[in-house]
């Protein structure tokens, strides 16, 4: 249900405040919002900050676009999607960083998610586990077409969305050094099933938006190659960030369904 101009409890936003935007770009980190918004529109402006939700508005070819951080993981993402949907946002694009688990995916490459493995818990509050977490076809195609036009290296595949950064993604450099038996060997299993990468929000976003009749897509820049090590490549981050912003801008500018 779309509300009038009621201020939302968690994000602190109102419909008029976001310029009646129907597009939302959703990075996880509040600190990434200003740089991303300005990359989309040099005149982008901050509108509100509350908890993990840092919100800016950019304008791309006269189209208002909200850039709002979600924090890490499904629960805080679910809150953002709930409140933004009530303000009239219809199209959600998650943007972030990721670790690849396929050897052919290089540092700085972009992974565009077709669907997500539901290793989260939040999505089960919106649909049973049998319900697929799939991206919007038209919005995903818009990102793919933009990446092609820009000549940016990208991969389209299935993403694994985990509620945890360490055990759920089978990382052993955690405090205890132990990973539950159900996750031991899971990275190799997902690799064999052609899963491309790990992140923490896409499954919740895709499930919610499908259940709500909204559109969702996800693209992430590769900053870790887990086929080689667990180390983050900071140089790859700068490259990936620039590419992500260009693809998003291209997708919104060029796609005929954006209004």
Indicate which residue of 83, 170, 199, 201 is catalytic: 83
Q: Is 48 a catalytic residue?
A: no
Catalytic residue flag (residue 243): no
171 is an active site residue? yes
Task: Examine the residue annotation and report whether 230 is marked as an active-site residue of this protein.
Answer: no
Among residues 15, 118, 155, 171, the one annotated as catalytic is: 171
Among residues 155, 226, 243, 249, the one annotated as catalytic is 226
Active-site option among 10, 50, 191, 255: 10
Q: What is the DSSP string of the chain?
A: ---SSPPPTTT---TTTTTT--EEEE-S-GGGHHHHHHHH-TT-EEEEEETTEEEEEEEETTEEEEEE---SSHHHHHHHHHHHHHTT--EEEEEEEEEE-STTPPTT-EEEEEEEEEE-SGGGGTS-TTS-EE--HHHHHHHHHHHHHHT--EEEEEEEEES-SSGGGT---SSS----TTTTTHHHHHHHTTEEEEESSHHHHHHHHHHHT-EEEEEEEEEEETTT-S---HHHHHHHHHHHHHHHHHHHHH-TT--
Annotated active-site positions, please?
A: 10, 83, 171, 226
């Amino acid at each position: 249900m779309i509300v009038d101009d009621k201020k939302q409890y968690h994000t602190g936003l109102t419909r008029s405040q976001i310029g009646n935007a129907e597009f939302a770009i959703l990075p996880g980190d509040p600190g990434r919002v200003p740089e991303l918004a300005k990359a989309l529109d040099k005149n982008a402006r901050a509108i509100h900050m509350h908890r993990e939700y840092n919100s800016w508005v950019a304008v791309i070819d006269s189209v208002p676009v909200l850039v709002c951080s979600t924090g890490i993981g499904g629960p805080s993402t679910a809150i953002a999607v709930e409140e933004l949907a009530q303000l009239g946002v219809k199209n959600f694009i998650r943007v972030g960083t990721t670790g690849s688990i396929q050897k052919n995916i290089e540092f700085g490459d972009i992974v565009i998610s077709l669907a997500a493995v539901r290793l989260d818990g939040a999505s089960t509050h919106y649909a049973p586990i049998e319900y697929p977490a799939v991206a919007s076809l038209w919005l995903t195609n818009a990102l793919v077409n933009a990446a092609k036009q820009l000549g940016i290296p990208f991969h389209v595949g299935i993403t694994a969305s985990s509620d945890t950064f360490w055990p759920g993604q089978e990382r052993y450099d955690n405090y205890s050094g132990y990973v539950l038996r159900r996750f031991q060997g899971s990275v190799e299993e997902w690799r064999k099933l052609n899963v491309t990468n790990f992140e923490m929000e896409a499954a919740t976003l895709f499930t919610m938006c499908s259940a709500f009749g909204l559109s969702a897509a996800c693209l992430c820049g590769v900053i870790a190659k887990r086929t080689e090590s667990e180390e983050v490549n900071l140089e790859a981050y700068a490259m990936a960030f620039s590419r992500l912003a260009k693809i998003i801008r291209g997708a919104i500018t060029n796609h005929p369904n954006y209004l």
